[in-house]
Amino acid sequence: MAFRTKNLFEKTTKLVRSYSSDKIYTHMSLTLNEQTGIATLELAKPPVNSMSFGFLSQLAAAVQQSEADKYKGLIITSRSSGVFSAGLDLKELHHPDSDRILNYLRRLQDVWFQLYDCSTPTAAVINGHSIAGGCLLALSCEYRVMVNSFKIGMNEALVGVPVSPMFIACMQSVIGQWEAEKALLVGRLFTSEEALGVGLVDEVVGGKSEGVCKAEGYLAGFREVSARARGLSKRYLRQEVVRDLVRRREEDVKKLVEIISSRGVQDSLGEHLERMKNKK
Ligand SMILES: CC/C=C\C/C=C\CCC/C=C/CC(=O)SCCNC(=O)CCNC(=O)[C@H](O)C(C)(C)COP(=O)(O)OP(=O)(O)OC[C@H]1O[C@@H](n2cnc3c(N)ncnc32)[C@H](O)[C@@H]1OP(=O)(O)O
């Protein structure tokens, strides 16, 4: 089979350089299967694929590449066998520099808009724990296959930070208002099986390769469908959520910076980081 592992940054060097001070393409790889036209984006930032500034920049470049090259599909998964993504990099949020946190949250918004609103068909193979921002990443895709025995959800309530509108909108659009409220207000993490029960994921499988097959099956379902019509329909279906968040994006960012910088939230973040350190 003809596989081409693309160093994203060959084609998107300009974009990535202007986005990121990180070394080029260190946190993920994008592999295109030229026979199917489906690309796999494998997150590879040990130990837990936390979403640092550089990670978000590379994710943005990958999604942009998928759109520009008109991939038939994009599968997002993790190289780690235990963690899909631990969400936002807590080190970016703890004792932040005021300009950096502003730009970090803007970058997160940009990536989310790009992925959520892209016309490329997307699927997530969640082959490990998927927490908060990690869950957002999976929910922004169209289809989710999860490997059993892991946890997924948005734990902000337990971290002591508010769930932001973007995260709420995504959760609501997948599991509905009531289930989203019940989960988000207590920071519930679902097991793979519970996630299937509530509709947070579409399938549960025994391992990553089975998950990739299921995701490919979902994406192959569009072979006979006009890519243009499909892409436009997806955008129309998602436009209400996007419009609202675009309209309020600057207001949301500024409010969040204020909240994150507050003493109470900084104390909670510090305690959360301490708990993680001490769990060993
Ligand atoms: C305008 C609107 C725009 C945007 C709004 C955005 C944001 C609003 C702000 C608030 C929102 C936040 C959303 C988030 O995503 S916050 C992050 C929440 N995530 C977590 O709490 C995950 C915590 N991690 C875990 O539970 C476990 O690590 C995990 C289950 C993922 C894996 O467990 P495992 O046992 O395999 O590994 P650990 O030993 O726990 O961890 C290994 C090392 O990794 C470090 N780590 C873990 N998670 C993070 C993280 N999220 N960020 C940074 N670092 C992380 C952990 O401390 C260990 O480090 P060392 O001790 O080895 O140094």
8 A C-beta contact, residue 85 and residue 55:
no
163 in a domain, yes or no? Answer: yes
The CATH number that applies at residue 233 is 3.90.226.10
Mutate to test the pocket of ligand 1, among 43, 45, 48, 88 (most ligand atoms within 8 A of CB): 48
The rounded Å distance from CA 239 to ligand 1 centre is: 30
Q: Is residue 131 part of a domain?
A: yes
ipTM of the assembly?
A: 0.97
Does ligand 1 lie within 6 Å of residue 80's CB atom?
A: no
The CA 4 to ligand 1 mean position distance, Å, reads 32
Please tell me the predicted confidence (pLDDT) of residue 18: 29
The model carries a pTM of 0.92
Residue 11 lies inside a defined structural domain of this protein: no
Domain hosting 38: range is 16-221+228-279
Q: What pLDDT score does 25 carry? A: 73
Asked if residues 49 and 40 have their Cβ atoms less than 8 Å apart, the reply is: no
Report the separation in Å between the CA atom of 86 and the middle of ligand 1, taken as the mean of its atom positions: 4
Nearest atom within ligand 1 for CA of residue 48: 44
Q: Whose CA is nearest to atom 63 of ligand 1?
A: 277
Residue 1 within any structural domain of the chain: no
Integer Cα distance of 215 and 73 in angstroms: 9
9 lies in some domain? no
At residue 169, the pLDDT reads 96
The CB of 39 under 6 Å from ligand 1? The reply is no
pLDDT tens-place values along the chain, 280 residues long: 333 444 333 333 333 322 333 335 789 999 999 999 999 999 999 999 999 999 999 999 999 999 999 999 999 999 999 999 999 999 999 999 989 999 999 999 999 999 999 999 999 999 999 999 999 999 999 999 999 999 999 999 999 999 999 999 999 999 999 999 999 999 999 999 999 999 999 999 999 999 999 999 999 999 999 999 999 999 999 999 999 999 999 999 999 999 999 999 999 999 999 999 998 7
Residue 3 resides in a domain: no
Angle between the N-to-C axes of helices 53-68 and 98-116, in degrees from 0 to 180, rounded to the nearest 10: 30
Find out whether the beta carbon of 228 lies less than 6 Å from any atom of ligand 1. Answer: no
Q: Each residue of 23-32: b (16+ CB within 10 Å) or e?
A: ebbebbbbeb
Domain count, the chain: 1
**Per-residue model confidence (pLDDT) at position 16:** 32
Q: Is residue 128 part of a domain?
A: yes
Top mutation candidate among 276, 278, 279, 280 for ligand 1, by most atoms within 8 Å of CB: 276
Domain presence at residue 4: no
